[in-house]
Homo-oligomer: A and B are copies of this chain.
Amino acid sequence: MTTGALAGQAASSTVERLLDAAAGAFADRGFHATTTRDIASRAGLSPAGVYVHFDSKEAVLYALSRRGHEAALDLVRGSATGPGTPTERVARVMSGFATWHAEHYEVARVVQYEFPHLQPEHRDEVLTLRKDIDEAVRELLEEGVASGEFEVTDVRETALALMSLCIDVARWYSPGVRRTPDRIGPTYASLGLRLLGARA
């Protein structure tokens, strides 16, 4: 299911199993507390088996983080530039992005919290994806301000606030918590519209 979160590849090649295993382990205990033995055993391999497919533990993190960011960018961009009024699109962005952080909370945690542990060059690569996400949101807000649907004093601050709401879902969500992914969508769409001074 993590696989689905990332791209929708043919499931359970060994690489896919390793990435799923790493997502679970990194989300559970963090990058540095996770051992290559953890990853290997979760994927049903011996400790050495990891190194056939990845050069290092950090290479696993990079692959996972990159895919996660790409999935997030696709999701946000798709909703932000799709059909409908800016109001409708913001609602879709907030609903989809918040829900994604819950449904795929393992990958989402890796994306949000393990980012600082990437090697500098890998961090730079991923950073451009992050900037693309922010930009997609800012552009959508500009549209809504131009059309008169949104009442926003500072687009940059407001875009960050919208993202903060969704991103923080990855911190508090886990299966078994009171809130469910399908209720999170409408809630966060509504919160977003409030921040924009828009009528639902």
**Contacts A/B (CB < 8 Å), 17 sampled:** A29-B32, A29-B116, A30-B30, A32-B32, A33-B117, A112-B171, A113-B113, A153-B190, A154-B187, A157-B179, A161-B191, A164-B171, A168-B168, A194-B194, A194-B195, A194-B197, A195-B195
A172 contacts chain B at the CB level, 8 A cutoff: yes
Interface hits, A162-200 → B, CB 8 Å: 164-165, 167-169, 171-172, 179, 187, 190-191, 194-195, 197
Q: Could you mark each residue 18-41 of chain A with 1 if its beta carbon is under 8 Å from any beta carbon of chain B, else 0?
A: 000000000001111100000000
A113 to B165 alpha-carbon distance, docked (Å): 16
Count, chain A residues at interface, CB 8 A: 29
